[in-house]
Amino acid sequence: MHIGIIGLGRMGYHMAERLLKAKHKVTGYNRSDEPTRKLARKQGAIGAYSIEELVSSLPKPRIIWIMVPHKAVDQVLSQLSDHLQTGDIIIDGGNSNYKETLRRGDLLEKRGVHYIDCGVSGGLVGALEGYCLMYGGNAGACKKLQPIFKALAKKGGHGRVGERGAGHYVKMIHNGIEYGMMAAIAEGLEIIASGKYKDTNIKALCDIWNHGSIIESFLLRMMRDGLNAHPQLKDIKPYIAESGEGRWTVQEAMRCNVPSYVLSAALFGRWRSQQKNSYSARAQAVMREQFGGHAIKKKK
């Protein structure tokens, strides 16, 4: 098949490479030129230096995969919009909010353009081992895209999960779970690093746990690799970024009245890590001082 990819960042570039390896043809476009130039040097790839160029290089009906941050999707769609025709298929492979996906899809489907939402998991490792893909949208369009999904995915790691929005919805929950699992691993390791057996080789322990234990996991593997790259985490600031999905998961849990202790605690843990001067911690310290005369620590 011949597919266009908009956004050749950490994910899109490697996805393009994976498709090329599977003998698909790829036209790549990136906002800045360098990734496009790099991709264009590969066999089977075409570099496009504008959205118009990308669209005109594709056979009709076109298949175009967008792999940009969710905040940039509307901008990309508005640039694409004038060039699209009935029967074209657009796939948003980024972590977009499913509500935005429903809105965007409504607009495009009215014009006969299929809008498929595809959650992609696997990060940078997925480039080598295959991604996990969960997609929603028109069943016929998803069927047509099977060779693309198959080339990108790990064996058995892809499927249509429902109507439009369902792919991004389950990816949102997937990432919410990811927050919780990461926090659980990190907290357990911190207890070990602070406790009676604090000299335990944590990197080696991650490896041991990853051979047959109940908590054997991709994340433990990433933890071991992270400790390889950053011994004892000495050069790492205690700041955890978030890109939206964990927050949306908790909002959805509230909307559905689902008690989600772990996922919300993990989200709040990230927010706490981003605070330099927690108001809440200072407020609690000052209340203890006022009611019990407990010592407070003053800023220097």
Q: CB neighbours (10 Å) of residue 230?
A: 11
Q: Which stretch binds ligand NAP (CB under 6 A): 26-34, 42-50, 218-226, 283-291?
A: 26-34
Q: Helix (H, G, I), strand (E, B), or coil: what is residue 110?
A: coil
Residue among 19, 68, 151, 220 that touches ligand NAP (CB under 6 A): 68
Q: Which amino acid is at 107?
A: L
49, 27 contact by CB (below 8 A)? no
- Residue 243 binds to ligand NAP (criterion: CB under 6 A): yes
The pair of three-digit structure tokens given for residue 166, joined into one six-digit string: 């369902």
Q: Looking at 60, 71, 143, 178, which residue is catalytic?
A: 178
- Residue 200 binds to ligand NAP (criterion: CB under 6 A): no
Residue among 22, 72, 102, 186 that touches ligand NAP (CB under 6 A): 72
Residue among 4, 94, 136, 176 that touches ligand NAP (CB under 6 A): 94
Q: CA torsion 159→160→164→169, rounded to 10°?
A: -50
- Residue 128 binds to ligand NAP (criterion: CB under 6 A): no
Could you tell me the smallest distance in angstroms from the CB atom of residue 95 to ligand NAP? 3
How far out from the chain centre does Cα 20 lie? Answer: 22
Q: Helix (H, G, I), strand (E, B), or coil: what is residue 278?
A: coil
Q: Which stretch binds ligand NAP (CB under 6 A): 25-33, 143-151, 178-186, 189-197?
A: 25-33
Sequence-ordered list of residues with C-beta below 8 angstroms from that of 251, at least 6 positions apart, any chain: none
171 is known as an active-site residue: yes
178 is known as an active-site residue: yes
- Residue 31 binds to ligand NAP (criterion: CB under 6 A): yes
**Angle separating helix axes 245-255 and 166-194, nearest 10 degrees:** 110
Residue among 39, 55, 63, 67 that touches ligand NAP (CB under 6 A): 67
Q: CA torsion 271→194→233→267, rounded to 10°?
A: -20
Which residues inside 257-276 make contact with ligand NAP, applying CB under 6 A? none
Question: Rule CB under 6 A: which residues touch ligand NAP?
Answer: 7-12, 30-32, 35, 67-70, 72, 75-76, 94-95, 120, 123, 243
